[in-house]
């Protein structure tokens, strides 16, 4: 079984910031697609990469691992990775893993853009 | 083993492929809701199940393959000895791993990967790995109706059975 949909629904640019709109569950199956999209985006070394999690209903440790890798790769060239719109269910996964203290997390897109 | 009857017992057999995990998650979510578990517990169960199945595919079978994973969902009814809740059994026929060696990693080491076991222990009330004599592994997960919220500090005590 496969849903065939890409995790990254849309990529937007605003000034020197890039915004990725994610959609759907991010599990072992779909995190492969997310990783490919993030690595491709990071190749351009955006100063700020903002990830819209508003439409992500579920995320497991493979999704967390993908985001940790992207954050670490961004930091290597001085870039910043910001997450916003994380629902309660996904937020608890960050909290249990104590990664809520590591990632820069905003409530809204405007808040993330203002960082 | 707690008492169950046919109405409270669901068995799902999938092939060890990540694309199948969302189907099992949905079934477990429905089963947990039918048991009367609150939303936080339902979310914790689906997360733990996802992590357990992912570990089975990756470590038990060494990657996606056409071998089976059998997931059993048992509704636990309250009696004199047990609380009400949901029991999940995950049976595979892959590599056996010493249950004593299945542990979460240090969370202070921020790096990609290795968080699955920690999430499982943090999410469930009981976690029990065993090595059946017929081969493969079995993982027993239990969430009770009167469960504490997911543990955000330390994973619960690990239970293992040879």
Ranges of each domain in chain A: 8-114
Instruction: Decide if B1 is inside a domain.
Output: no
pLDDT for A76: 96
HSE toward the beta carbon, residue B88, CA cutoff 13 A: 33
The DSSP H or E segment spanning B123 is: helix B116-123
Strand A48-55 relative to strand A17-23, pairing? parallel
- How far away is chain A from the Cα of B150, in angstroms, using its nearest Cα? 7
**Domains contained in chain B, number:** 1
Q: What angle do CA A15, A17, A21 make, to 5 degrees?
A: 120
Answer for the pair A23, A30: CB distance below 8 angstroms, yes or no: no
E strands present in B4-109: 9-15, 68-76, 85-92
ipTM of the complex model: 0.90
Q: Which residues contact B1 (CB under 8 A, 6 or more apart)?
A: none
- pLDDT tens digits for range A5-62: 799 999 999 988 999 999 999 999 999 999 999 999 999 999 999 999 999 999 999 9
Return the DSSP state at B145: T
d(CA B8, CA B13): 17
Contact residues, chain B, for A58 at CB < 8 Å: 25, 46-47, 50
Pairwise CA distance, residues A20 & A13, whole Å: 9
Distance CA B139, CA B53 (A): 10
Domain that holds residue B89: 9-161
Residue B151: the pLDDT is 64
Residue in chain A nearest B23 by alpha carbon? A1
Rounded Cα gap, residues A98 and A93, in angstroms: 8
Single pTM value for the model: 0.90
Residue B78 lies in a domain: yes
Rounded Cα–Cα distance for residues A14 and B59 (Å):
42
Q: Which residue of A has its CA nearest to B50?
A: A60
B109 part of a folded domain: yes
Q: Which two tokens stand for residue B69?
A: 């994973």
B53, B13 contact by CB (below 8 A): no
Contact A48, A79 (CB under 8 A): yes
Q: Which CATH number is correct for A8-114, 3.50.50.60, 3.30.750.24, 3.40.50.720, 3.40.190.10?
A: 3.30.750.24
A-chain residues near B21 (CB < 8 A): 27-29
Q: What is the pLDDT of residue A65?
A: 95
Reduced to 3 states (helix: H, G, I; strand: E, B; else coil), residue A44 is coil
Q: Of B156, B160, B51, give the one whose Cα is nearest residue B97.
A: B160
Give residue-wise pLDDT tens across range A62-98: 999 999 999 999 999 999 999 999 999 999 999 999 9
* pLDDT tens, per residue, chain B with 162 residues: 445 566 689 999 999 999 999 999 999 999 999 999 999 999 999 999 999 999 999 999 999 999 999 999 999 998 867 889 999 999 999 999 999 999 888 888 888 778 999 999 999 999 999 999 999 999 999 999 988 766 655 455 455 443
Give residue B162's pLDDT.
37
Answer whether B63's CB lies under 8 Å from B15's CB. no
Beta-carbon separation of A29 and B19 below 8 A: yes
At how many degrees (to 10) do helices A88-96 and B39-55 cross? 60
**d(Cα B11, Cα B29) in Å, to the nearest integer?**
14
Of B19, B23, B50, the CB nearest to A60: B50
Question: Given an 8 Å threshold on Cβ–Cβ distance, is B20 in contact with A1?
Answer: yes
Sole residue written with tokens 């203002």: A114
The answer to whether residue B3 sits within a structural domain is no
């Amino acid at each position: 079984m496969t849903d065939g949909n890409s995790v990254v629904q849309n990529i937007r640019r605003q000034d020197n910031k890039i915004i990725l709109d994610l959609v759907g569950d991010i599990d072992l199956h779909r995190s492969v697609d997310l990783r490919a999209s993030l690595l491709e985006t990071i190749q351009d070394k955006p100063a700020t990469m903002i990830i819209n999690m508003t439409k992500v209903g579920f995320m497991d440790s493979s999704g967390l691992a993908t985001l940790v890798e992207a954050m670490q790769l961004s930091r290597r060239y001085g870039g910043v990775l910001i997450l916003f719109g994380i629902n309660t269910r996904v937020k608890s996964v960050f909290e249990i893993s104590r990664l809520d203290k590591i990632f820069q997390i905003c409530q809204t897109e405007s808040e993330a853009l203002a960082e | 083993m707690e008492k169950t009857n046919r109405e409270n017992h669901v068995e799902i057999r999938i092939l060890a492929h990540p694309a199948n995990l969302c189907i099992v998650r949905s079934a477990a979510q429905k089963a947990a809701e039918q048991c009367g578990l609150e939303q936080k517990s339902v979310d914790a169960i689906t997360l733990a199940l996802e992590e357990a199945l992912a570990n089975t595919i990756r470590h038990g079978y060494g990657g996606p393959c056409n071998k089976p994973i059998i997931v059993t969902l048992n509704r636990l009814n309250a009696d004199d000895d047990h609380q009400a809740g949901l029991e999940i059994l995950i049976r595979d026929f892959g590599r056996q791993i010493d249950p004593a060696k299945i542990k979460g990693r240090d969370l202070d080491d921020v790096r990609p990967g290795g968080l699955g076991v920690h999430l499982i222990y943090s999410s469930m009330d009981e976690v029990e790995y065993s090595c059946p004599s017929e081969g493969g592994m079995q993982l027993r997960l239990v969430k009770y109706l009167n469960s504490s919220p997911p543990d955000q500090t330390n994973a619960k005590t690990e239970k293992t059975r040879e």
